Amino acid sequence: MSEEQKTSLDSLAEATRSRAKFSGHGDALGAAGERQKSDHPENCEELNEPGQSIAINCQHDHIEPIKIGAAWDPLIQDDPSFLGKLLKKQIKKNVDLDIGCFYELANGERGIIQAFGEKFGAFDQAPFIKLSGDERTGDAKGDDEFLLINGKHWNDIKRVVIYIYIYGGVPCWSKIKPRVMLDVPGENDLVVTLKSHNDALDICAVGGIENIRGGIKLTNYTEFFPGHEEMDRAFGFGLEWDDGKKAPR
């Protein structure tokens, strides 16, 4: 083998090693995010590991609404004031964490639901998924925010990818202990608590809900990304992206 051929092969091998790993989500060609194990005492045992899934068979023509809720703790920090330092006081800082989802309907329509960009969805018409609102503190009792899927139109929905993200500020997943709860009628509540975190990445795809022959397939992803576009490519939704801001209060 000539020196020129060897150099070319070495370059090709190096390029192959440096390529990002494909996500493996369907036919998507985007790179995988950083996957973290989410084992926690509150979690459903079958959904601790990224990629694990469970199936729920629906015994009737339609199901009751499916609720996906998110809750998190306020951020506790040392009081930076002179008196606060002297008394070793701590203060509570609100964190604006949001829940959202990608969706694909049975007719091929694709989109996104989230407070960012005021895309709150609709319950009684397509996409049959509605965001409760925009809780910006983490102080609300129970779920701070939730998505509601209209079970009467479950057969109009193909798949949903649920994610949470910190809007503005520095990510601090490890301090706010985010939890996502899935309430499927007739089943025990399923909980995914993010035990492992990467504070360098802004957004986490928590899990997926798929319509498999009328039944419900739940999958744990727990996959972190630097932004929405990277997550979109990883799951193959192919949406267009532009800048947006939340409405002021």
pLDDT band, very low/low/confident/very high, at 195 (cuts 50, 70, 90): low
pTM of the model: 0.72
DSSP secondary structure letters along 84-142: HHHHT-EEEE---EEEEEEEEETTS-EEEEBTTTTB-EESSSTT-EEE-----SS-SSS
CB atoms < 10 A from the CB of 222, how many? 28
Select the CATH number that applies to the domain covering 21-235 from these four: 1.10.10.10, 2.60.60.30, 3.90.1150.10, 3.30.420.40: 2.60.60.30
Contact 225, 205 (CB under 8 A): yes
Structure confidence at residue 170 (pLDDT): 59
The better pLDDT of the pair 50, 30 is held by 50
Structure confidence at residue 88 (pLDDT): 61
Flag whether pLDDT at 127 surpasses 80: yes
Domain borders along the chain are 21-235
Per-chain mean pLDDT for the chain: 73
Encoding tokens for residue 200? 């360098």
User: What is each CA distance from 49 to 42, 113, 114, 208, in whole angstroms?
Assistant: 14, 26, 26, 13
pLDDT for 171-190, tens place per residue?
677 777 788 888 877 676 77
The better pLDDT of the pair 43, 98 is held by 98
Flag whether pLDDT at 28 surpasses 90: no
Q: How far apart are CA 224 and CA 46, in angstroms?
A: 20
241, 239, 238: which is closest to 27 by C-alpha?
238
Q: Which helix (H) or strand (E) holds 56?
A: strand 53-56
Q: How far apart are CA 220 and CA 72, in angstroms?
A: 19
